[in-house]
Structure 1
Amino acid sequence: MKNSQPKISIITPSYNQGQFIEETILSVLKQNYPNLEYIVIDGGSSDNTVDIIKKYQDKITYWVSEKDNGQSHAINKGFRRATGDIITWLNSDDCLTKDALLQVADIFKNPNINFIYGECIHFNEQGDKPLIPLPKENLKTLRIYGFPFEQPACFYKRTILEQVGYLNEEYHFAMDKELFTRIALYTDMHYFPITFCKFREHPDAKTGNIIDVARKENNQVLFNFFASLPNTRLVTYINKLGRKHKLYQHPINQYEVNYQFNRKELKLIFTKTIQPIFSDNYKNKNYKKNIAIGTELISHMPFVFFANKYLMSFFIKSIKKQILSQ
């Protein structure tokens, strides 16, 4: 019977991905999952995308092609329309693997599971790349600063999404990280060694094209997280440091923090957050900023700073470069 399996909602946002979207659609429809809700939200494509969608419209639960405010807005439109028990989004250049949804449904038979993630194969025009297994640790800190999984490899209950809120549409690159940060602070994330999806690498991929903007959004997400934590001495300092050196602007929203981080965990998250900032400053020849941040970290968090070889290396290299540039 159709309803013997939980309803799974898949949302595919799309814009001018006519060369890829058919493979994406087929990867979903060929799951032959008996209780599928498939929603395609197109942003008014001018290529052959709509023709391809129409080709399969009798098997697609709902689709629309109209101008929107970007990918996050398109996905949220799908979220609002979805009625499934389990939900995720699959971009129009990625694919599900064979029988992925049946395996997902089987896992969610455990009522204590709200969010799962698995493996993801990267591929390009040359074919599949070797699978790099994910870290097996289930550390809350890893979920906050790293998120070692690919977005299409995760599935979650729609009730969780309703409780933490939809995507923040102010983000265009780090919207998944921002959402998953909220979810990580709300419920456990469970890893399963199953390959659920394939992630396409191609020259027009959004994240690959504007990597600097994506990094800035990732930094914003993490500093918003710090701004929302209980007002401990360490968090107060981190917020002060972020404002002083303009590492972030203002918190866009507040997270519900129901996990008590200890000082060691907070320091670990913070150092992992600050590392790419040092790297970006060095790459952009902003040596003075690295020196200023490093000097302040030495004053307030010397053990954390000196224990991190990555930060120390960029701090010392920035000093040398600044001296040579004078």
Structure 2
Amino acid sequence: MSAPLVSILTPSLNQAAHVEDCLASVRSQDYGEIEQVVVDGGSTDGTLETIRRYEGERCRLLVREGTSQAEALNIALAESRGELIGWLNTDDAYFSVDAVSTAVRRFAASPECLGVYGDAVVADERGRVLRHVCTSARSLLPVAFTSPVVQPSVFLRRLALGDRLVREDLHLMLDYELWLRLARQGSLCKVGRILAIDRDYPGRKIRGSLERQRAEVRLLIEEYGAGLESPHPARRAASAWLRRARGVREVLTFERNYRLSFACEVDARWRRAVRQLLLPQRFLHVG
């Protein structure tokens, strides 16, 4: 049986500082059957020039001025040919060179899985790895403000998507809605490896949009019949700390267990361990 084509869908707009890391992480993958479809909404900061340097066998660029992130993703899906689908924003990246091949192997071993996801790491604006994020699709309900699945670490079967990837009426919770929609249809299966880097920095879209996020969370609660997550503060804090503690081993063994897909910054082990356990949550918007 031939290897399935994996299409990586990338919406793009004015991310000159980060887009090369995204593109390099796809180019360096050890899996051969990959296409990256980048749909740019009219960048003016040098992003397009960087993308054009990567155009070729693995990367196609479509410029659609004025498109939103959701519109760009759905255009990319329509233009793609892959049996399996990944979604990688221009400020995110795959963590290791085997991220895609790891997901493909899990799909082959588990035909019932509509989606495959892994853990992630959070990186800062310059690409320094801050901490490990332990993910779990089992925690999708009740609906929370933060997705328990990290978006760039997810791969999906095209057959589960129909003619769209995300809803175009959503701005901040479009990934969470996608996970809920797929979980209604079938299984989302986890692999026990870090697959992606989720970048957190002052200009990130999720920051400064609390009222819109609240409105979209209420919409998901109405549509999917699940109440807002409201555990006791002590229980919530304990759960978050346990998730962090589980990641200590991962952050201490990056060099042994992973071949990094681009030149992200991984500093001293003791610094990683301290950040994993102690970095204040206000600096991070994942996990």
Q: Which has the higher contact order (CA 8 A, sep 6+)?
A: 2
Structure 2, unmatched stretches of 5+, are 234-287
Quote the offset at 1:69 in angstroms.
3.1
Distance 1:92 1:47 in 2: 13
Q: Give the alignment of 1:56-95 within 5 angstroms.
A: 56-95=54-93
Quote the offset at 1:223 in angstroms.
1.2
Residue 166 of structure 1: aligned partner:
165
* 1:133 lines up with 2:120 in the alignment: no
Quote the offset at 1:129 in angstroms.
1.5
Bigger Rg, which one: 1
Kindly provide the amino acid, as one letter, of the partner of residue 169 in structure 1: E
1:68-120: per-residue Cα shift (whole Å, max 9, x none)?
33100000000111111110210000000221011111111122222111101
Asked if the contact 2:140/2:180 (under 8 Å) is kept, the reply is: no
Residue 280 of structure 1: aligned partner:
none
Give the stretch that moved more between structures: 213-222 or 194-203. Answer: 213-222
* SS of residue paired to 1:79: helix
Cα separation, partners in 2 of 1:107 and 1:207, compared to 1, 3 Å: same
1:243-302: per-residue Cα shift (whole Å, max 9, x none)?
xxxxxxxxxxxxxxxxxxxxxxxxxx4252xx4xxxxxxxxxxxxxxxxxxxxxxxxxxx
- Considering only aligned residues, what root-mean-square deviation do their CA atoms show, in Å? 2.0
Distance 2:108 2:53 in 1: 34
Residue 42 of structure 1: aligned partner:
40
Residue 227 of structure 2: aligned partner:
270
Residue 151 of structure 1: aligned partner:
151
Asked if the contact 2:122/2:133 (under 8 Å) is kept, the reply is: no
Residue 26 of structure 1: aligned partner:
24
Kindly provide the amino acid, as one letter, of the partner of residue 87 in structure 2: W
Quote the offset at 1:31 in angstroms.
0.6
Residue 178 of structure 2: aligned partner:
179
Cα separation, partners in 2 of 1:22 and 1:44, compared to 1, 3 Å: same
Kindly provide the amino acid, as one letter, of the partner of residue 155 in structure 2: F
Kindly provide the amino acid, as one letter, of the partner of residue 123 in structure 2: F
Quote the offset at 1:143 in angstroms.
4.5
Q: Give the alignment of 1:1-326 within 5 angstroms.
A: 4-98=2-96, 99-110=98-109, 111-124=111-124, 125=126, 127-135=128-136, 139=138, 142-143=140-141, 145-146=143-144, 147-162=147-162, 165-226=164-225, 269-270=226-227, 272=229, 275=230, 309=232
Distance 1:144 1:127 in 2: 32
Quote the offset at 1:162 in angstroms.
1.5
Kindly provide the amino acid, as one letter, of the partner of residue 33 in structure 1: Y
Asked if the contact 1:43/1:74 (under 8 Å) is kept, the reply is: yes
* SS of residue paired to 1:209: coil
* SS of residue paired to 2:192: strand
1:294-323: per-residue Cα shift (whole Å, max 9, x none)?
xxxxxxxxxxxxxx656xxxxxxxxxxxxx
Distance 1:213 1:85 in 2: 34
Distance 1:223 1:177 in 2: 14
* Structure ranking higher in helix proportion: 1
Asked if the contact 1:113/1:190 (under 8 Å) is kept, the reply is: yes
Distance 2:134 2:64 in 1: 39
* Structure ranking higher in strand proportion: 2
Count of residue pairs brought into register by the alignment: 228
Give the stretch that moved more between structures: 173-182 or 124-133. Answer: 124-133
1:202-233: per-residue Cα shift (whole Å, max 9, x none)?
1111012323322321221121223xxxxxxx
* SS of residue paired to 2:207: helix
Quote the offset at 1:67 in angstroms.
1.1
Kindly provide the amino acid, as one letter, of the partner of residue 113 in structure 1: C
Distance 1:156 1:223 in 2: 25
Distance 1:88 1:68 in 2: 23
Quote the offset at 1:126 in angstroms.
6.9
Kindly provide the amino acid, as one letter, of the partner of residue 148 in structure 1: P
Kindly provide the amino acid, as one letter, of the partner of residue 7 in structure 1: L
TM-score by structure 2 length?
0.74
Give the stretch that moved more between structures: 8-17 or 62-71. Answer: 62-71
Distance 2:8 2:79 in 1: 11
Distance 1:204 1:210 in 2: 11
Distance 1:126 1:22 in 2: 12
| % same residue | 26
* SS of residue paired to 2:7: strand
* SS of residue paired to 1:148: coil
Asked if the contact 1:11/1:78 (under 8 Å) is kept, the reply is: yes
